[in-house]
């Protein structure tokens, strides 16, 4: 596979996170778009590629948005792939830049959260969901993930204390990232353990909080980014795989197992040379699957890994091994802005590697890994993707 | 309308349902409706590809293996083993909200001996005098279908020994689980 040389990612923006909002998705997308181009000093007219990710656009799509925003792109794309949207967006956009299909591409994710809209979204998520999973208790994604978590715990002896390690360190990170919706609250092990039970082994702090918000970034050639005098990141490697391991009875692994080796080979780094990791953390068990499949520990050993690794952004914890993980609190503490949440880890990595992180910057970070996981359809998540980003070579 | 007013008007509806009777989700795709119809009065019927000789679930337009559409509804045995099971303490749907406020709602995924993996309600009371919420993995079980009070066919997992041959025996289990009657609102006017 051809590599992604010459492509720059820049101008990460996280916009307007709120628990509930009367605004629609178009507002979040439009306002995020405006901040993204403003920050980069790009004129709206210069944007000739436009990609959108949203679950709540309703009858609108990326093309009707071009009329709303009065832009005339010669390349459009839409990525409604939940947690893998960010990885997929950067891969598609990078290819378009390399091939000259567009010169400046804005990738924007935005989702609304009107009252009770989550209920509606969960009830009509897909054909399989409507017919074969929502009628059974209507727990939404909690049901499938509690079954996966229950099975994972029984198989590998993982305990709630292990999951707590992920939630607790992420909350510490969120305490230093101002847009995080739960960043103003601390979380102790005691609070975590005593939280309200939601579904089987899942308790309140294992579940993400659906919210509204927007995430966006720009993709262009390195020359163009240098010309704009903007700090940027390059893509060392990126991979995706969908509906991996379809014959597994229940999800204990994702597509990462199939491409992790190629991912590291192309990037010419190993898991131990990664300075920061952003996993898709809609539930702690999913972060564990990603850490295992991406080679940070052996299958089933994530419980040992989290118990001996400090995952705070600044390494201020007591444990000896350090791996900054979900350095802005992830979705568990920042909130899950619908499909825009698929951009959260990517944007956080861009901020870290372009020195735009304010209070939560990881010291001396050079290489970051992002992992995406999306679309729980019926009993398992279908999309998996991962990318390794780095500062440009000077 | 200002944002503030808009929020207020929307929040007005954001409160517990006042419906006297709440029922399980009715909405299905046309394929889901076909599944319901095929299973009326039957213990379990699933989509079957007569070319590949294989069952599939959830119902789909084409066979997952050969992508042709020679699909029929065929009687399935329903035996299998539990992959994972859980109990819901929280639900997005009013019927289950009212049920889970009484006791957690048990569900399970089952791998049928004939192939498909099905997502089902779990008849916990059949297993261990009603106390049990730990149907251990690999427990051999039986899955059958019956209609709930929304008149949609749903799948239920019970023990291998439970009699599900007749409509009456299935009806008893569904009634015991609280699926045959709507969930009534607590209190009155």
Query: Domain of B35: which CATH number?
Result: 2.40.50.840
pLDDT recorded at residue A116: 80
pLDDT recorded at residue B15: 60
Backbone angles phi, psi at A106, to 5 degrees: -100, 120
SS3 B143: strand
- B8 in any annotated domain: no
Residues A21 and A82 in one domain: yes
Total domains present in chain B: 1
Q: Is residue A172 very low, low, confident or very high in pLDDT (cuts 50, 70, 90)?
A: very high
Residues A220 and A183 in one domain: no
User: What's the rounded mean pLDDT across residues A361-390?
Assistant: 94
Domain end residue (candidates: A174, A198, A227): A227
Domain interval for residue A351: 139-210+232-390
* B14/chain A closest Cα distance in angstroms: 6
CATH number, residue A325: 3.40.47.10
Residues A220 and A254 in one domain: no
pLDDT recorded at residue B129: 57
Distance separating alpha carbons of residues A12 and A346, to the nearest angstrom: 9
- B9 in any annotated domain: no
| Cα end-to-end distance, chain B, whole Å | 34
Domain end residue (candidates: A227, A254, A285): A227
**Which of A193, A228, A263 minimizes the C-alpha distance to A39?**
A228
Best of B28, B36, B90, B102 to disrupt the A interface (most A CBs within 10 Å) is B90
Total domains present in chain A: 2
- A123 in any annotated domain: no
Partner residue facing B96 (CB), from A116, A138, A201 = A138
Does this complex have an ipTM over 0.85? yes
Distance separating alpha carbons of residues A50 and A325, to the nearest angstrom: 30
Residues A216 and A275 in one domain: no
**Which of A82, A174, A155 minimizes the C-alpha distance to A302?**
A155
- A247 in any annotated domain: yes
Residues A47 and A109 in one domain: yes
- B5 in any annotated domain: no
Q: Which two tokens stand for residue A34?
A: 């405006």
A61-120 pLDDT per residue, tens: 999 999 999 999 999 999 989 999 999 999 999 999 999 999 999 999 999 998 788 888
Q: Which residues of B touch A127 (CB under 8 A)?
A: 29, 31, 58
Chain position carrying tokens 């990462």: A256
Domain interval for residue B148: 25-184
Determine, for residues A116 and B14 on separate chains, whether the beta-carbon distance falls below 8 Å: yes
Question: A48 CB contacts (<8 Å, ≥6 apart)?
Answer: A72, A73, A74, A75, A102, A103, A104, A105
Distance separating alpha carbons of residues A284 and A211, to the nearest angstrom: 18
- B152 in any annotated domain: yes
Give me Rg for the CA atoms of chain B: 19
Q: Counting beta carbons within 10 angstroms of the beta carbon of residue A28, is it exposed (0 to 12), middle (13 to 18) or buried (19 or more)?
A: buried
A39-68 pLDDT per residue, tens: 999 999 999 999 999 999 989 999 999 999
DSSP B89: S
Residues A319 and A330 in one domain: yes
- B76 in any annotated domain: yes
Distance separating alpha carbons of residues B54 and A11, to the nearest angstrom: 51
Beta strands in A54-180 (DSSP E): 75-78, 104-111
pLDDT recorded at residue B12: 56
* B86/chain A closest Cα distance in angstroms: 5
pLDDT recorded at residue B114: 96
- B103 in any annotated domain: yes
- A121 in any annotated domain: no
Best of A131, A205, A209 to disrupt the B interface (most B CBs within 10 Å) is A131
Interstrand relation of B54-56 and B45-49 (parallel, antiparallel or unpaired)? antiparallel
Determine, for residues A198 and B14 on separate chains, whether the beta-carbon distance falls below 8 Å: no
- B165 in any annotated domain: yes
- B20 in any annotated domain: no
Domain end residue (candidates: A227, A258, A289): A227
Residues A108 and A24 in one domain: yes
The answer to whether the beta carbons of residues A156 and A303 sit under 8 Å apart is yes
Residues A100 and A147 in one domain: no
Confirm or reject contact between B151 and chain A (CB < 8 A).
Answer: no
User: What's the rounded mean pLDDT across residues A238-249?
Assistant: 95
Distance separating alpha carbons of residues A149 and A288, to the nearest angstrom: 10
Per-residue CA distances from A17 to A61, A243, A371, B6, B90 (Å): 22, 31, 22, 18, 25
Distance separating alpha carbons of residues A1 and B186, to the nearest angstrom: 62
- A109 in any annotated domain: yes
A318-358 pLDDT per residue, tens: 999 999 999 999 999 999 999 999 999 999 999 999 999 99
The answer to whether the beta carbons of residues B86 and A152 sit under 8 Å apart is no
What pTM did the predictor assign? Answer: 0.92
pLDDT recorded at residue B187: 66
Distance separating alpha carbons of residues A322 and B140, to the nearest angstrom: 44
pLDDT recorded at residue A114: 85
Distance separating alpha carbons of residues A146 and A163, to the nearest angstrom: 13
Residues A174 and A217 in one domain: no
Best of A119, A137, A143, A148 to disrupt the B interface (most B CBs within 10 Å) is A137
pLDDT recorded at residue A263: 96
Residues A328 and A198 in one domain: yes
A-facing residues of B in 62-101 (CB < 8 A) are 83-93, 95-96
pLDDT recorded at residue B14: 54
Nearest-CA residue of chain A relative to B64?
A246
- A99 in any annotated domain: yes
DSSP A186: -
- A15 in any annotated domain: yes
- Residue pairs spanning A and B at CB distance below 8 A: 124
Q: Which two tokens stand for residue B145?
A: 């279908």
Distance separating alpha carbons of residues B130 and B110, to the nearest angstrom: 20
DSSP A131: I
Residues A223 and A256 in one domain: no
The percent of residues in chain A predicted with pLDDT above 90, rounded, is 92
| Cα end-to-end distance, chain A, whole Å | 25
**ω before A124 within 30° of 0 (cis)?**
no
pLDDT recorded at residue A361: 93
Nearest-CA residue of chain A relative to B13?
A115
Determine, for residues A249 and B83 on separate chains, whether the beta-carbon distance falls below 8 Å: yes
- pLDDT, tens digit only, all 189 positions of chain B: 677 776 666 555 556 677 788 999 999 999 999 999 999 988 999 999 999 999 999 999 999 999 999 999 999 999 999 999 899 999 999 999 999 999 999 999 999 999 999 999 999 888 875 444 455 567 889 999 999 999 999 999 999 989 998 999 999 999 999 999 999 987 655
For every residue of B117-131, which 3-state class applies, written as one string?
EEEEEECHHHCCCCC
Q: Which two tokens stand for residue A193?
A: 């353990």
């Amino acid at each position: 596979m051809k590599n992604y040389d010459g492509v720059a990612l820049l101008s990460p923006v996280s916009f307007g996170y709120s628990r509930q909002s009367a605004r629609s998705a178009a507002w979040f997308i439009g306002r995020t778009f405006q901040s993204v181009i403003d920050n980069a000093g790009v004129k709206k007219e210069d944007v000739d590629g436009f990609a959108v990710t949203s679950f709540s656009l309703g009858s609108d799509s990326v093309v009707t948005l071009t009329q709303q925003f009065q832009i005339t792109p010669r390349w459009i794309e839409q990525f409604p792939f939940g947690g893998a949207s960010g990885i997929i967006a950067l891969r598609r956009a990078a290819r378009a830049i390399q091939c000259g299909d567009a010169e400046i591409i804005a990738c924007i994710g935005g989702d609304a959260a009107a009252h009770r809209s989550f209920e509606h979204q969960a009830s009509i998520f897909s054909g399989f969901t409507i017919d074969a999973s929502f009628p059974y208790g209507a727990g939404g994604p909690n049901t499938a993930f509690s079954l996966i978590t229950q099975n994972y715990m029984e198989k590998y002896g993982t305990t709630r204390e292990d999951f707590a390690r992920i939630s607790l360190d992420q909350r510490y990170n969120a305490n230093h990232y101002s847009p995080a919706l739960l960043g103003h609250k601390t979380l102790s092990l005691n609070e975590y353990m005593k939280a309200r039970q939601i579904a089987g082994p899942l308790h309140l702090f294992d579940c993400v909080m659906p919210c509204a918000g927007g995430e966006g970034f720009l993709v262009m050639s390195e020359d163009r980014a240098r010309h704009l005098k903007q700090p940027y990141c390059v893509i060392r490697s990126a991979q995706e795989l969908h509906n991996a391991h379809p014959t597994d009875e229940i999800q204990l692994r994702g597509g990462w197992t199939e491409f992790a080796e190629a991912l590291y080979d192309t990037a010419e780094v190993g898991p131990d040379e990664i300075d920061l990791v952003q996993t898709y953390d809609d539930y702690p068990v999913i972060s564990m699957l990603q850490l295992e499949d991406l080679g940070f520990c052996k299958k089933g050993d994530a419980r040992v890994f989290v118990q001996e690794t400090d995952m705070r952004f600044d390494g201020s914890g007591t444990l000896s091994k350090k791996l900054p993980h979900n350095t802005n609190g992830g979705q568990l503490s920042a909130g899950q802005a619908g499909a825009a949440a698929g951009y959260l880890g990517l944007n956080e990595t861009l901020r870290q590697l372009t020195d735009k992180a304010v209070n939560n910057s990881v010291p001396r970070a050079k290489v970051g890994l992002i992992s995406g996981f999306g679309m729980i359809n019926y009993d398992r998540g279908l999309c998996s993707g991962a990318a390794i980003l780095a500062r440009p070579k000077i | 309308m200002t944002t503030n007013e808009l929020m207020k008007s929307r929040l007005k509806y954001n409160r517990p349902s006042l419906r006297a009777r709440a029922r399980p989700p009715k909405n299905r795709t046309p394929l889901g409706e076909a599944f319901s119809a095929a299973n009326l009065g039957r213990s379990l019927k699933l989509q079957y590809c007569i070319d590949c000789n294989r069952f599939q679930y959830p119902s789909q337009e084409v066979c997952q293996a050969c992508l042709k559409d020679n699909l029929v509804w065929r009687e399935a045995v329903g035996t299998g083993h539990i992959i994972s099971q859980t109990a819901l303490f929280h639900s997005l749907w009013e019927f289950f909200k009212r049920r889970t406020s009484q006791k957690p709602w048990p569900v399970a995924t089952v791998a049928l001996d004939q192939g498909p993996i099905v997502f089902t309600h779990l008849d916990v009371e059949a297993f261990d005098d009603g106390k049990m919420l730990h149907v251990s993995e690999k427990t051999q079980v039986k899955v059958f279908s019956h209609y709930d009070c929304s008149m949609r066919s749903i799948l239920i997992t019970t023990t291998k020994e439970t009699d599900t041959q007749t409509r009456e025996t299935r009806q008893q289990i569904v009634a015991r689980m609280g699926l045959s009657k709507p969930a009534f609102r607590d209190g009155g006017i």
